A and B are shown apart, each in its own frame.
Chain A
Amino acid sequence: MSILLESKQLSKTFTLGKQNEHHVLKEVNLTIAQGDYVAVMGASGSGKSTLLYNMSGMDRLTSGSVTFRGQELSHMHDQALSTLRLTGMGFVFQHIHLLKNLSIFDNILLPGYLARKEERHKIDQRARELMEHVGVAQLADHDITQASGGQLQRVGICRALINEPDILFGDEPTGALNSTAADEIMALFASINAAGTTIMLVTHDVKVAAQTERILFMLDGQIVSEKCLGKPSRTGADRKTREEQLSNWLFKMGF
């Protein structure tokens, strides 16, 4: 499989005042291939969200490099980096972060219209198809205040997929949802990955991580261990087994 996203000696340091530096990421080396389904886990403050934002170009790394589709992100101009994010990446947030002054349908359309990869009527068509696929087609003309958390998270996924990105990032995508809604979202992610989209998400939830294939464990700004669970069964029959395996492994990691 070809390498899609790679970091080498990635470091991120926050300066919190005079002579008060906080090293959040310490020389992280990570390779993500096309089609991978990766979860990043670790204790609070381990640097997992920071890793996500630096790998996606939403934050500027302090040293090292991040390469996406062979392009080095750290030296890119804002315009080029934004275009890369717009056309090659999708992002799903814990708190969804839809634009409150746009309808649900317009929130999904917005990145598509901005990218202008194809004619608008085709973008409109794909938006409707995505909404149909995730089960929120009836919410097209609604405001974001008129949908539940789970529905809004599915809308967020549609928005993230409108430009058919190579990779989908998720920062605690089920963190604000109840278990039923969380299961629905994870099922969607599975189908998206099965269709060929690479996924990298951050989670503290073992049940969520168990539905991915590669789990990276972070401690004190470094990836200290990795667990491969392989592809889950389509029926979900192996879910409990995967969760147990993962829990045992995490226990050994001290999580």
Chain B
Amino acid sequence: MIGKILQKDLLRKKLITLVLFGFIFLSAMLVSSGCNLMLTLTNSLDALFETADAPHFVQMHTGPLDQAEIERWAAAHSLVDVQQTVEMLAIDGTSLFFGQTQEPEADTVMDISFVVQNTRFDFLLNLDNEIIDVAPGEIAVPIYFMQQADLDIGDEVRVVTDAVDMRLVIAAFVRDAQMNPAIAHSKRFVVHPTDYATLRQAIHEVEYLVEFQLTDASRVSEFRNDYLASDMPKRGPSLDEQLFKVLNGLTDGVVAMAIIFLSFLLIIIAILCLRFTILATLEEDYREIGILKAIGIATSDIRRIYLAKYVTLGAVGSILGYLASLLLNQVFVKNITLYFGTAQRSLTMDALPLIAAGSIFIIVLVSCFIVLGRFNRISAVQALRSGSIGESANHIRMLNLTRSTGFNLNVFLGLRDLIQRFRLYWLLGMVYFFCAVIIIIPIHFLTTLQSPTFVSYMGIGHSDIRIDLRQSDDVAERYHRMMQHLHSDTDVFRFTPFVTSQYAVVLNDGSQDFITIETGDFSVFPLEYIDGTAPNEEHEIALSILNAQEMDKHVGDTITLLVADRQQDLVITGTYQDVTDGGRTAQATRQPDPDHILGYTVSLDLQPDVPIDAKVQDYAAMFDPARVTDLDGYVAQTMGNTIAQMEMATWVTGVVGLCISILITALFLNMLISKDAGQIAIKRSLGFSLRHIRMSYLATALFVLGAGIIIGTIFTNTVGQQLVSAVWATLGASHISFVVNPLLAYLVLPLLLIGAVSITTFINLNAIKASAIAEMINE
């Protein structure tokens, strides 16, 4: 019998059933997908690192090194398990050509290196996660360039310099545990030893990766300090396995979190809708419930009838949502599959998404139990007499009709209804608020990522051009030559050089650590500081926020550097955000230590009428092998993949937000019109036309929507911004300020929402036409 009642009720209220089902389905699908994405990311990353046998610690070095000395040191260190030194040939982008194009990769911000396959660990893998083995005349190209240049197996790669013109055929694409993501600015191409030897004779820019695998990976910080305190080669940054994983997982991790966040919002909306639906149904069936109670049907039996409907919806929605997620997963994990490969599926990977979808069902069930507790409060006598739960006669004197002067009467009635039945409408307002949030936050985040000012989160002030001089034997000479030229170049409006060096620093507990410091004049291209200001004096320093947190330092504190075995105290003047180099950098104005220079950078602005692109090309040729980039291109290349994923996520959340607002409007209006049928009939009998009635409901819906959008926008620009900052704090940018596209955020999107809600309102209000006034009056 319950089955018959269920079937009849589900068919009678198709729209409500469909909408509720839709929310539960979407929520289950997304939470399951998000869970699967996180698990796949973690497992695939781990699998890649395991198959590649990634190093625990890597020290980059430019200049001569004594491998025998390194091996002796490694053998004497108790934490070292295996050591290898990887030699890399640095190829400038101007010497590299892909496919049949005549244009070199001059604009790339990547440091391109050619290597041979490693023999001990840190293996470079192909797309099947097999150790790459290329033949003479063949090359393996990093996935980054496969996507950027749209390359295929069999395409040609040419290396052209004054001394060599080599053509190589792409035989594989490289999965590099260290250098996969775009945010890592180094990329390794794999060639055969024979080809490598030929290139080595022509190209003399060599860098090294001094790599270690430890007996205890958890002690990598201790090992790092030991290494940096030693005489081992260290003219370059040092990195560890943890940083590799964070950088690799950044893009997809952000998407996974966005999906899970969205699914939580959806289930909240589903619960709110469920509550409203159940209460409205209770109101509708109030007299019938009273009759059932009066003839002796137990409350628990009555509740079971209602529960059956929502339990069925919850179960079916969750199951189908889980099944749909299996299809959706193929879309979301595409990037993971490409960059990391596919890990072997485990029981956990299959079970957890299913459990996640099941949790949605549990939430629905619990919510129903709570709301259906109202059955206990329904008295049979009261129900039979009144036939209605009854709304409180909430007469608000301030909104008497006599005060509606200047308002359209129907708009006034809509506003009045909103205030009088606020408890009813707040649900709709909450949903619109959530819709506004899930649409606007991703858009703000995307426009922030795309903005040229995003460089400030990379520890760089905004300039037209950036020139990076890589370490080499003659780098100091090239640097001075470049300075001379820039001083006399009339196209240059202003410029300032920065020198990056490594220093030992004494921590609070007396131990030593190493810190990378960029020295120069930070007033020319200033950063935005979270706290304090840029350093101005020789004894001042600014720290990246992650460095400051790890060292437990604040503005006004001092840190102690070790320079030529002498301690020197520097006062911290400010903290700033930096997502590059693991977020651990510092800035000072003191003279750099010539023995520990890692590199030179120059930021410059051109005169207003000088075209940037042309100048970039001129400088690239003039200062070869320096890397010359325009800042916009620098950000785009570094964050390109993340931006692309964020764009996809923004579209998804935008469409979902819009669909939710449409669905909830349809559901709410459908039920409201049903509830208000009597009042509508009375108004129609008085002479209110359908247009008048629609205007009233539309006004109410738009008032609620407007409030939802306004509060959602305020929330987004305050709490939302802090939420995003909290996520990025782990990478070094803890104070993200949204860069807002006002036209998009404050005009286009609100209009889109208003349009969608208005159209939905009109369509649903057509239902009023269906019944004759007489029928509605007499019902």
Contacts and interface: CB of A to CB of B under 8 A. Distances in A.
Given A103-B395, A124-B402, A143-B395, A115 B772 contact: no
Given A103-B400, A109-B402, A145-B393, A114 B685 contact: no
Contact of A79 (B395, B678, B683, B689): B689
> Which among A79, A82, A84, A97 has the greatest number of chain B C-beta atoms within 10 A?
A82
Leading 9 A-B pairs by shortest Cβ distance? A86-B687, A82-B689, A53-B774, A58-B773, A106-B401, A59-B774, A85-B687, A97-B682, A59-B772
A145 B777 CA distance: 19
B393 A143 contact: yes
Given A113-B401, A145-B393, 13 more contacts: A53-B773, A58-B685, A59-B773, A78-B689, A81-B689, A82-B687, A85-B687, A86-B687, A97-B681, A97-B682, A106-B400, A120-B402, A141-B397
A187 to B, nearest CB: 24
A90 to B, nearest CB: 9
A59 B776 CA distance: 11
A113 B409 contact: yes
Interface in B163-205: none
Contacts, number: 96
B691 interface: yes
Interface in B378-428: 391, 393-395, 397, 400-402, 404-405, 409, 416-417, 420-421
A4 to B, nearest CB: 18
B682 A99 contact: yes
Contact of A114 (B409, B420, B690): B409
Nearest to A106: B401
> Which among B393, B402, B405, B684 has the greatest number of chain A C-beta atoms within 10 A?
B402
Interface of B: 391, 393-395, 397, 400-402, 404-405, 409, 416-417, 420-421, 678-679, 681-692, 769, 772-775, 777-778
Interface in A123-182: 124, 141, 143, 145, 159
A19 interface: no
A115 B402 contact: no
Interface string A80-124: 011111110101010001111111011001110111000010001
A239 interface: no
A60 interface: yes
B606 to A, nearest CB: 65
5 contacts: A59-B775, A78-B769, A99-B683, A101-B394, A114-B687
A93 B400 CA distance: 24
B394 A114 contact: no
Contacts of B690: 78-79, 82
Contact of A111 (B395, B400, B687, B691): B687
Contacts of B416: 101
Interface in A10-52: 49-50
Given A58-B773, A93-B777, A143-B393, A83 B689 contact: yes
B396 to A, nearest CB: 9
Nearest to A100: B393
Contact of A82 (B393, B417, B678, B684): B684
A102 B401 contact: yes
B772 A85 contact: no
Contacts of A78: 689-691, 769
B687 A58 contact: no
> Which among A59, A83, A110, A120 has the greatest number of chain B C-beta atoms within 10 A?
A110
A109 B401 contact: yes
B437 to A, nearest CB: 32
B404 A99 contact: no
> Which among A58, A79, A91 has the greatest number of chain B C-beta atoms within 10 A?
A58
Contacts of B692: 82, 114
Contacts of A85: 685-687
Contacts of B773: 53, 58-59
Contacts of A82: 684, 687-690, 692
A110 B393 contact: no
Contacts of A143: 393, 395
B686 A86 contact: yes
A119 to B, nearest CB: 10
A63 B774 CA distance: 17
A167 to B, nearest CB: 13
Interface in A53-67: 53, 58-60
A54 B409 CA distance: 28
B188 to A, nearest CB: 73
A99 B679 contact: yes
Contact of B686 (A81, A106, A111): A111
A115 B687 contact: yes
A186 to B, nearest CB: 22
A15 to B, nearest CB: 13
A106 B400 CA distance: 7
B401 A110 contact: yes
B113 to A, nearest CB: 75
B685 A60 contact: no
Nearest to A95: B777
Contacts of B772: 53, 58-60
A103 B417 CA distance: 13
A134 to B, nearest CB: 18
B686 A114 contact: yes
Nearest to B420: A101
A196 B682 CA distance: 26
Given A97-B777, A100-B393, A110 B686 contact: yes
Given A53-B774, A58-B773, A91 B395 contact: no
A89 B686 CA distance: 9
A49 B774 CA distance: 9
A159 B774 contact: no
Contacts of B400: 103, 105-106
A87 B402 contact: no
Nearest to A171: B777
Contacts of B777: 58, 93, 97
A141 B421 CA distance: 20
Contacts of A106: 400-402
Nearest to A88: B687
B402 A101 contact: no
Contacts of B678: 97
A49 to B, nearest CB: 8
